[in-house]
Amino acid sequence: MYVIFDMDGVILDSERLYARACDHACQVLDLPVDLMRETMVRCTGVTWDVEEKIVREAFAHIPHFSYEEMLEVVGDYFNDAVEKGQLVLKPGAEELLIWLKDQEIKTGLASSTGMDTIKKELEGLNVLSLFDVIVSGDMVTHSKPDPEIFLMCAEKMGISPEDYADTYVVEDSYNGIRAAYEAGMMPVMVPDRLEPTDEMREKACMILPSLPEFMSYLRVSRGLPYIQ
């Protein structure tokens, strides 16, 4: 058995913080909040390059819109919040990662975020070393829902295609679930800001309310011990 995690919205409680940063940018730059929120839903789980394309297209009709200016305001707000300790782990994340390591179950991280940001944020919360392999958005050519990032992570973890059916992928985004499904792995949706849809219920092997619930499932279904 193997487990691959997404980061934002799964390991880190970052999606809400990023949403607040985008709302703040709307206030500062006089941009429509509803359009921003709708656009950010479409951007969940994609790489920065894809997000930029989506945002530019969505706001192209607004004459005073500047993507660079928006990115600066959002980044300043988000980074200030991180410095103030407002970026935290999702409930049960650290306990689950420690438990998987205790069971000698290989774990990977496959995040659309860039590697520098991944390392900074995970090191700051003391969980970086709990992952055996990390694949970032700047290491792949295609963004989720393309399965490339999960296939690369699996290869680096030493997972053969024959074992994909025994590889759980824990995701919160629609694109992440789609990518894991296309990879032939076992998508597990732990919803964050996006509610499950009929498509997600069809493609996910299970939808669970939290990471502790996922650990309980593994413990019972695999006959594994609880936290040592």
Each residue's pLDDT expressed in tens, for the chain with a length of 228 residues: 999 999 999 999 998 899 999 999 999 999 999 999 999 989 887 888 899 999 999 999 999 999 999 999 999 999 999 889 899 999 999 999 999 999 999 999 999 999 999 999 999 999 999 999 999 999 999 999 999 999 999 999 999 999 999 999 999 999 999 999 999 999 999 999 889 999 999 999 999 999 999 999 999 887 877 655
Is the pTM of the predicted complex or chain greater than 0.85?
yes
51 Cβ contact list (under 8 Å, min separation 6): 43
Catalytic residue status for 8: yes
User: Catalytic: which of 8, 132, 172, 192?
Assistant: 8
Per-residue pLDDT at 226: 66
Q: Is 116 a catalytic residue?
A: no
Q: Which of 43, 45, 86 is nearest to 67 (CA)?
A: 43
CA angle at 26 for the pair 24 and 27, rounded to the nearest 5°:
65
Q: How many CA atoms lie within 13 Å of 185's alpha carbon, on the beta-carbon side?
A: 31
Instruction: Select which of 6, 132, 172, 192 is catalytic.
Output: 6
